[in-house]
Amino acid sequence: MAVPIRTVVAGLCAGLVAALLTTAPARAEQDDQVWALSTGTHAPRARITLDSGTLSLAVSRDGRTVIEPSPVGIVTEQADLSKDLRFLHRKDRTVDERYRTKSGKRLDRRVHMKETRLSFATAAGARLDLVVRASADGVAYRYVLPGAHGDVLGETSAFNLPADAAAWLGTYRVDNEGQFVQYTAATAPTGEYSDQALFETSGGYTLLAESDLTGAYSGARLAHTQGTGTYRIKLADDRIRTDGPLTTPWRAMVTGDLATVTRSTFTDDLAPAPKVTDTSWIKPGTVLWTWLAGGKEAGQSLAAQKAYVDYAAERDWPYEAVDAGWYYKPGEWETVDPDWQTNSWMPELVRYARAKGVGIVVWIHQRELDTPEERAQWLPTLERWGVKGVKIDFMNSEAQPMLQWYDTILAETAAHHLLVDFHGSTIPKGIQRTWPHVMTLEGVAGEEKRTNTAAHLTTLPFTRNVIGSMDFTPGAFHRVGLRPNSDAAEVGLTVAYESGLQMFAGTPESYDQRPLARAYFDQVPAAWDDTRLLAGRPGQEAVLARRAGDRWFLGGVYAGAARTAEVPLSIGPGRWLVETVEDGADGLVRERKVLRGGDTLRVEVVAGGGFAGIACPWRPGITTCHRS
């Protein structure tokens, strides 16, 4: 019997509706388990997956692997928020900000990020929000625990890298002074590494980092087992004390080609807005540092310090730093004079220096600032004397109690208008945006070390110095045989390495013996309008250009044999006068060339050598880029 067409159509429609009602919830549930985030076609792309109650995060760039799917989760004493999670909801927003810094790779910053907040819960009702951000140069995530779930016992966070990814790693130390060495992700020895680790995959370069670390949490390092590409987050504390809702630091992946990673300000961009409203007193600058120049004796001698002030004034260097010894008992070492406030010659030195236009920065041990009573004694006194800044040393910890001390000392030094240089310290992790009076931090195997290699020096611009100012203290010409580089490379470090207080570590005699280096130091700024990588490969070469006004300063450092270095002059169109300081047969020599933007700058580099330079717009009659 024939079936009416109307009946057939009705049956088909009913079947289609039934199928849609059956499959739509399944598709929605499947879609809810995978989330993607990116700011553009060529920007890094984050992919978050919830699979059988467990979260993972992967990062790609242009369809190529940056970070393989990696575990995400946190465990507290009351809840395991790394498994058995169910998705609740998602909230998206765009982060658009502009801010200005007092130091760093460039003073004016623009932030554009996409953010997604994914909310999850366990069967028992414990809540976890995973906040993920993506920008043109990075991906980051953090955990937010909206409720109180007790102390944190650890994270399951890790980063899975392709086994054959090139890796530049620094062995973890409490003072963050491990040297960077190249491995592959899998062949690196079993151990703990600094969280500022650089990897090269098919998707480009990625620097692992951390941002917005405070005393509410604990510092991170990377734990690795040889034979795998997995690097787990290990915290400095076995238990992180918390008594309410918690927001953790950002786990950041600075991602792109090498030039993008090098000039990135991603970790600063993630950090909270400045907590210092009046920043007019915060002034970066170059510093005559007297520790490697004069040692213990200089630290206890007013006459020696006045002589250093005289030299800084002659050179128009804005600061002189007095290192350890100034508040110790005369003739004794590391014995604090109990009457230092009345016996100290520091007020006389500050007055002497002020009359010559030089500001004084003083070294002080962290143990002298450990309690509220000690800080109430030291900080107001230093401010009253007119000291411009403090170099605080020997924190040597990223455990929660020490981070809480950082929170306190940052606020109190700002209140007393004291610039800060941290030594024996954590690394920046966004601190310079939130607290702009922090001019620099050590956290590096710097000039004081006697075991540095040329490869280590050429890796620092791509690792430690990416995330903030680095007090390497270049310029120690007198330490011949104790450093792995040439004199011209030592001059170039003042630009290759950025520091809001750029401490020159040599002796006045060593500068006078090298007038070209001394003249270059007279010109080099400590604050920059822009930064560009001109040429580089970690462990082999690093050539950076930093702009101040209409002049570009160039710093190049190299490892390996002598060569003719070829550097693309990618500093803008037009004709440029380029003056370089290079190693010659009998010492430093100056070369001058007129080149067009985009031309190749050729420099003769000795083994373990480098160069420094200044490029300024050329026009007829211009014979030098140096200015009085």
Task: Give me the active site residues, please.
Answer: 393, 448
The upper half-sphere exposure of residue 365, i.e. CA atoms within 13 Å in the direction of its Cβ, equals 11
Indicate the DSSP class of residue 460. Answer: G
Tokens for 135, please give them.
């920008």
CA nearest to 111, candidates 272, 249, 276:
272
Tokens for 55, please give them.
């979260």
Q: Max Cα separation, the chain?
A: 119
412, amino acid identity: E
Contact assessment for residue 87 and residue 122, using Cβ atoms and an 8 Å cutoff = no
Compute CA distances 446 → 28, 417, 476, whole Å: 54, 27, 11
Per DSSP, what are the bridge partners of residue 239? Answer: none
Tokens for 34, please give them.
């995978």
Strands (E), 346-408: 359-365, 389-393
* Distance separating the N- and C-terminal Cα atoms of the chain: 106
Calpha distance 61→136 (Å, rounded): 10
Please state whether 5 falls in left (phi above 0), alpha (psi between -120 and 50) or beta: alpha
Tokens for 513, please give them.
């013996």
Estimate the crossing angle of helix 302-315 against helix 515-523, to 10 degrees: 80
Long-range contact pairs involving 618-627 (C-beta distance under 8 Å, separation at least 24): 618/574, 618/575, 618/576, 618/577, 618/594, 619/575, 622/577, 623/577, 623/592, 624/577, 624/579, 624/592, 625/523, 625/551, 625/577, 625/578, 625/579, 626/519, 626/522, 626/523, 626/579, 627/523
Residues with Cβ within 8 Å of 83's Cβ and at least 6 positions away in sequence, in order, are 53, 54, 73
* DSSP H stretches of helix in 1-73: 5-31
Tokens for 299, please give them.
């630290």
Residues with Cβ within 8 Å of 394's Cβ and at least 6 positions away in sequence, in order, are 365, 366, 367, 423, 424
